[in-house]
């Protein structure tokens, strides 16, 4: 199921395959965002589970004012923020977090000016490249998990889930400028970490 309209209809009808598809697409990112907000993996897992239950209960009422991913992550961030307030662990998304801006690394749209060397494509796939790719994925995952919570949340929502800037700002209570700063710092931190590995 690739068409979002069909997927939403099947999800609203209680189709198990549709739920499994949506779950596989979003669960890992949801856990990262919830952990960034709560700073507690156990609480984050509970909030993600509660969010999935809410998605299932309310799928028929989804009004398509945003993307399906945007709706799911709005449910998640609201639940995580409520839990954080209740537990007294609210994380402030501060754009002045440590880390400088390197305007030379990215263009005005936030894309790399010069791709890191190892990311430039080679067409030939060899067993060595597959193993190296898996190792690199492990490094990327670790680097994302080590980002400050606000940077991690913005990177996952904007970069991985490709949500619109306005959606991310609304979910996290950020101005668009602050969101851009956090995204820029996250990308720069990842590039620096990966350059060191290479």
Helix, strand, coil % (nearest 5) of the chain?
A: 70, 0, 30
Q: Look at residue 198 in the predicted model and tell me its pLDDT.
A: 67
Q: Look at residue 24 in the predicted model and tell me its pLDDT.
A: 93
Q: Look at residue 3 in the predicted model and tell me its pLDDT.
A: 81
DSSP code for 98 = S
Instruction: Specify the CATH class of 4-87 in words.
Output: mainly alpha
Domain limits of the chain?
4-87, 117-197
Which residue, 174, 154, 168, is CA-closest to 69?
168
DSSP code for 147 = S
For the chain, give the number of residues: 198
Q: Look at residue 134 in the predicted model and tell me its pLDDT.
A: 76
Architecture of domain 117-197: Orthogonal Bundle (1.10)
Tens of pLDDT along the chain (198 residues) come to 558 888 889 999 999 999 999 999 999 999 989 988 888 889 999 999 999 999 999 998 998 888 899 999 999 999 998 898 888 755 455 444 444 445 566 565 556 566 655 544 555 666 776 666 677 778 788 888 888 988 999 998 988 888 899 989 988 888 999 999 999 999 998 888 888 776
| DSSP helix/strand/coil, 104 | coil
Q: What DSSP element (H or E) covers 137?
A: helix 127-146
Which residue, 16, 20, 41, is CA-closest to 30?
41
| DSSP helix/strand/coil, 112 | strand
Give the CA distances from residue 17 to residues 6, 67, 132, 154, in Å, rounded to whole numbers and listed in that order.
12, 19, 33, 29
Q: Which two tokens stand for residue 146?
A: 């080590």
User: DSSP letters along 19-83, please?
Assistant: HHHHHHHHHHHHHHHHHHHHS-HHHHHHHHHHHHHHHHHHGGG---SS-HHHHHHHHHHHHHHHH
């Amino acid at each position: 199921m690739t068409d979002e309209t069909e997927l939403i209809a099947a999800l609203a009808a209680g189709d198990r395959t549709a739920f499994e598809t949506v779950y596989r697409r979003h669960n890992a990112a949801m856990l990262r965002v919830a952990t960034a907000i709560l700073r507690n993996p156990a609480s984050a897992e509970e909030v993600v589970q509660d969010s999935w239950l809410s998605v299932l209960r309310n799928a028929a009422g989804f009004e398509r004012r945003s993307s399906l991913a945007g709706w799911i992550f709005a449910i998640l961030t609201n639940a995580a923020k409520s839990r954080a307030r209740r537990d007294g662990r609210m994380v402030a998304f501060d754009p002045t977090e440590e880390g400088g801006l390197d305007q030379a690394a990215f263009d005005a749209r936030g894309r790399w000016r010069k791709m890191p060397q190892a990311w430039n494509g080679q067409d030939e796939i060899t067993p060595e490249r597959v193993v190296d790719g898996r190792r690199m994925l492990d490094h990327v995952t670790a680097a994302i998990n080590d980002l400050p919570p606000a940077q991690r949340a913005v990177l996952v929502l904007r970069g991985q889930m490709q949500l619109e800037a306005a959606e991310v700002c609304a979910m996290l209570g950020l101005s668009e400028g602050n969101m851009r700063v956090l995204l820029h710092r996250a990308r720069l931190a990842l590039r620096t970490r990966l350059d060191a590995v290479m």
